Every structure is written in C-alpha cells, then in structure tokens.
Structure 1
Amino acid sequence: MNEAADRTGNPPGSHMTAEIAEQPQVFAELLGRRRAIGEVAARIAERRPRFVLLAARGSSDHAAVYAKYLIEILLELPAGLVSPSTATLYGARPDLTDVLLLSVSQSGGSPDLLEVTESGRRHGATTVAITNNPGSALNEAAEMSVDIHAGPEQAVAATKSYSATLLALYLLIDAVRGGSGEQAGTIPELAQTALDTSDGAVDEAVQRYRFANGMITTGRGYSSATAAEAALKLAETSYLSARAYSGADLLHGPVAAVDTETAVLALCSSGRGGEAMRPVLDTVHEHGADICVIGSAASEVRAAHRIGVASCAEELAPVLEVLPVQRLALGLALARDVDPDSPRGLHKVTRTR
C-alpha cells in the first residue's frame, strides 16, 4: 500500500481528486462576489495607474503571467513580473509612484512577497493582495485585497485555488476597464462540462504517457500561462521532467532537441493564441514528436491525441483548459505509483526570501 495512504488513512490522490471536482462550485461562488471585486477595481481605476507590477511565486506566478496578458490586452497598460530578490536580497527600493502592484499568493504566507508588498506600498505603489487567505499577513500589508474564496485546499498541488485565482484576476481586471464580468457568467457550467466529458480522453492520455521520461509543454497568448502551470503540475505530482516554452520560444532553438522520443503537451484554444500554435505544431510534428493537444481548438491542429474543451472567450480559456491538465497530472501520478497529495519534499506553503 502507498506509504502516504498508511499515514493519513486516505487513498492516494483523494484530496486532489475532490478539489478538482469542486471547481465549478468555487467559480459559481466567486462570480457571486463580483460586487466586492468591483469595489476594489473602482478604487484602482480612480488611481489611473501608469504601469502594473505582479509579484508571485509557484503556481501563483503562472496566474500572474495570465494577468499580465489581461492587463496588456484589455487595459492596454504595460505590465511586468517582479523579481522579489531585488528587494529582499539586494535592497532595491524603486520609486513606484502611480504603479499598481498586484501580489498574488494562495496562502499569503511567503515572506518575500510580504516584503515586496510592504516596500512597494512605502514607495508609492497602490498595493492589492489576491489570496485564498483573507487573514494572511499579505492581506494586512496591502492597501486592498481580493479573496478568491476557494476554501481550504488539502492537496499540496494547487488546483481549485489556482483556477479561482485566474477567474478572480479576470473579474478584477475586467472591472477596472468598466466591465461587468458578463463573459464569465457561463464558466461554472462550462467547467462542469469539461470535467464530465474529459475522463475518457484523459485516461487514454495517462496510458499513453505514463512511461514518458519527460515532456515539453507549450502554448501561446493567454494559454502560455497554462503551459507553465502544466509543467509544474506534472513535475510536482508525478516527478515527470517537464519544461514549458511559449510556442514562439520553442521554435527559437529548443525545437532542435525534439524527436520521436519527445512528448509534447500543447494548449490550443480558439482565438489568436491557438491560431498562432498551428505552425508550431506543424514543425514539432515534422520532428516526429508525440503531440497531445488540450483546448477548444484541439480538433483543428496536428496531434496524436486530443482532449477537447468547450469554447469561450479567449481571455477566459485558461480557466477551463487547466482542468484536464490537472486531471492528467493526477492520473499520471497515480499510474506511476505516486501520491499527488503528498509529493516528496514539498509543503503546502513554501517560504522563500
């Protein structure tokens, strides 16, 4: 019997399985809190920030990449990712007047993000914490906060807290531009459909890749965030060596290492990002790679295996396409005799500085 099951009395992966299944309800509850998010957005809009910085680690860093695309496309503001060590290790204290600093952390417990937020606020930034822990030190340090309301998460690998962070960021950024979040109204139902209909295709993918030594994950546009999250999920749950590249970066050198022994997980949803993946996957196919495509445009590109997802507004696709990614990571972990609830050497809250 799996050692972790002996210690906890729960079957391996039971927490991760349950938390993946909770996501449609989490989305519905988050949509019901749009008014509170809108109030934060209104205060941000009043400040008229000239630039947006995003501070995050781990899965939250991938959510920040998604937010960067939203900010640059929907708000047409420049945005960048903070390097926390510039503040924590090197003591840099830039002037952040008229800058919006979004600190994204599911736990709100990482010391480096706390220090970056405190420093940013002292040096002129409008600071907003996006967390799953309204009582965290990060929430107290920031001027404003958005609670993603995903509920307690027991598995080490983030699932519902990650996807809820994506949706919260979309609702916040859409509201800053004066939107009502209307495009997200059907997300709970579409998420339930994605979970209900993907089992067979995910199970086939598990059998196809259970003995893979490594995998490349790739996507463009909004989906590049999902590619990064997919690589992390595969590495931390099933110990599969995975490397994420944007579709554009994959062609700038790494494709030379792709051959018939290479497994590629590609995120392709309807829209400009998915369309831009066509020539990427054509090239990867010519190199002989085994390609698995996830997304609403899965049937429209070259692949050996496909996991379809319902179509929605392109900027919301990462909220849906990550669901079969999580299922795949869970299935591969169990198939490789790993308990994804308790990966070796990992803890739910990682404290870095």
Structure 2
Amino acid sequence: MAADIAEQPAGFARLLDDEHSSAIAGVAAEIARRAPRNVVFVGRGTSDHAALYGAYLTEIRLGLPVASASPSAITLYGARPDYTGTLVIGVSQSGGSPDLTGVLRVARETGALTLAVTNNPSSPLAQAAELSVDVAAGHERAVAATKTYTAELLALLMLVEGVRAGDGRLPAEERTALDKLPQLAEDALRDTAADDLAQRYRFASRMVTTGRGYAYPTARETALKLMETSYLPALSFSGADLLHGPLAMTDPDVPVLAVVGDGPGGASMRDVVTRLAERRADVVTIGATDVAGASGRLAVPGVDERHGPLLDILPLQRLALALALARGEDPDAPRGLKKVTTTL
C-alpha cells in the first residue's frame, strides 16, 4: 500500500503525457459531438466514489443532470431502462465485475452512449462499452485501492473539461494547472503529519468523515479506507447531512475528519466545523488553511476546488496506512477481502 501511494505523482504525470491525454481528448470530443442530454454513472466501492466526483463535475461544469444506476435492477430483476440520449459511464479499477458490465451492455442495447473508465482496457467492462478510457495507473499491489482511485479522478476531470471545451482538448489555463499536479502530489506526500495523527487515533472506536461538494467523495473514500485497513467503523456524511441529525452523536470521543478546501464547498464546511466545535468534537481538517474550531490540520497545497480531491485524499491514504500499522493490522491483506470483487 505504501508503494502504491508513493506512485501517484508519477501516475498523474503518465496520464497527462501526450499519448494518454490525446486518447482522453478523442473520447471527450466524441461525447461532445454526440451531445447526451443526461449522464448516468455506475461503480462500486472506491470507483463509486470516483464516479461521485465525476457526477459533481458533470452537473457543475457541463450543466447536465446526473443519476447513479442501480445495477441490481438490471442484473437481478431484469429491468431494461430506456437510456436513449443518455451517456452511461461505468467506472471500475479492474473492469471485471459482472453487474457493472451488465449495466453497460443493457444501456448500449437500449440507446445509450456507453463509456468505460478502467485500469484494464481489455476488461469485460471496456469490451462492453462503445468508448473506453484507460486510467493508466499500472499494476496496483495492495487490496486497498489508492493510485487507481486518483487516476480515475484525473481521467474524469480531463474528460469533463474536454467535453466542456467541445473539441476534447483541455484549455491552456486548465492544462497549465494540471501539469503542476505531479509536483503538488509529491509535496503533499512528503508531509508526515498523518503518521503522527495515526498515533492519536490508535484507540478510537469509531470516526466520522465529512465534506461538501467536490470534497464529499473524499470523505466517503476516506471512510472506506479506514474501514478496510483498520477495521475501524467510519461514518461518512456530507456536511449538510451531518447537521440534519448525525451531529447529535458527535462528542470528544468521536474524531471527525473534515475536508475543508477553497470555493463554495469549503466555505460552507467552515460553519459545520463551528457546530462540531460547539459539541467539543475532536475535529481535524484537511485543507490549505487553518479553520476556526478545529484541533488540527492535515495540510495540502491550495488549488482550485475542482482539483482538490486529487490532493486531499493523499494524506488521508497515509493516515489509513499508518493507523492500520499502529493498531497492529496488515493493510496489504485486509481480512475477507480480495483485490477484484465480483457481484451480480
């Protein structure tokens, strides 16, 4: 897991090279040409969190309505929704789960433009889709996904911005910002604060993660990483949902990880941190600046809010790794889990 985490800056650079960026631009141009009226995402686990990030990008940047498919409706109940005029995007690291492949197959048969975003371009998912994007993360050794997740995020970001441009190519300003990502990721991973924080949380019985907007997928992915590596019950909420009831369970014994970046999402999270502080919750924020009411911060470089999820997750992956080791667990071999999970 440590090796996979460390490879993410190189993964960003690889996806941004001429070969891979041109391939994504070609897919984006074709989507723009076909002009879908709405978008449906489908994914499981970590890839579903990447899909959620893609959903925020699609609604905010493209102005298209987005939904999440229910694979069981198709694979267990035999439903055949009419996907005419819809772009259906399957996001999967392995591209090997039959339920995701089944959704894309039925969607294509019922009129959808289908796209597979996967780390395995020869997978059943990629073969079932009309278009495919290779996230080019390379072989991931650990069961807990890290570098494939951030590769999916960057691929979806490049795809959406390419569609927005119309010709698939990233605008010069966007390209300049993304070209800084590999170095920014290196900088974020160099900070050891997450290792120190793991000692503080070593005996926690449960945790809460929270964020809003583009940061919400990061909160969800963090909770999953904590559960699958440390077996630590971690509940994830959007900042808004947290205030609609779950806030009542927070107290000094329940650590809270709050992703607070720049932009509207981060601004709204500052009020959430204030409310948590009123309950004397132990809040650590993830962001570029300190937040009133928090007891600590995992620092990340300040970037555009859209780009934040590619960096915010990095110290949180390190935290999950360090916490598992501090609790005497093996993060490379979580009990009961396999690298590829197949569901119907």
What range describes the TM-score normalised by the shorter chain of this pair? over 0.9
Conserved in 2, the CA contact under 8 Å of 1:217 and 1:264? yes
Structure 1 residues 34-45: aligned runs within 5 Å: 34-45=21-32
- Please state whether the residue corresponding to 1:213 is helix, strand or coil: coil
- Please state whether the residue corresponding to 2:302 is helix, strand or coil: coil
Spell out, residue by residue over 1:142-184, the C-alpha distance to the aligned partner (whole angstroms, 9 max, x if none): 0010000000001000000001100000001110011334131
Distance 1:149 1:302 in 2: 40
Q: Which residue pairs with 2:124 in the alignment? A: 137
- One of 159, 162, 168 as aligned partner of 1:175: 162
Q: Which residue pairs with 1:254 in the alignment? A: 246
Q: Name structure 2 gaps, 5 residues minimum.
A: none
Alpha-carbon shift at residue 313 of structure 1 (Å) = 1.2
Q: Which residue pairs with 2:305 in the alignment? A: 314
Distance 1:333 1:271 in 2: 32
Structure 1 residues 1-353: aligned runs within 5 Å: 16-32=1-17, 33-178=20-165, 179-180=170-171, 181-182=174-175, 183-196=177-190, 198-199=191-192, 201-297=193-289, 299-353=290-344
Spell out, residue by residue over 1:197-242, the C-alpha distance to the aligned partner (whole angstroms, 9 max, x if none): x21x112211111110000000001000000000000000011100
Answer with 182-191 or 240-249: which moved more: 182-191
Conserved in 1, the CA contact under 8 Å of 2:285 and 2:291? no
Alpha-carbon shift at residue 300 of structure 1 (Å) = 3.0
Distance 1:277 1:51 in 2: 29
Q: Which residue pairs with 1:4 in the alignment? A: none
Alpha-carbon shift at residue 135 of structure 1 (Å) = 1.0
Partner letter of residue 305 of structure 1?
A: G
- Please state whether the residue corresponding to 1:93 is helix, strand or coil: coil
Distance 1:73 1:157 in 2: 30
Aligned length: 335
Distance 1:47 1:122 in 2: 17
Q: Which residue pairs with 1:13 in the alignment? A: none
Q: Name structure 1 gaps, 5 residues minimum.
A: 1-15
Distance 1:312 1:301 in 2: 20
Conserved in 2, the CA contact under 8 Å of 1:205 and 1:305? no
Give identity over the alignment, percent.
55
Answer with 175-184 or 311-320: which moved more: 175-184
Alpha-carbon shift at residue 94 of structure 1 (Å) = 1.2
Distance 1:326 1:152 in 2: 18
Distance 2:234 2:215 in 1: 16
Give the ranges of 4+ consecutive aligned residues of structure 1 lying more than 2 Å apart after TM superposition.
Answer: none
For the aligned residues, what is the CA RMSD? Answer: 0.8
Distance 1:173 1:159 in 2: 22
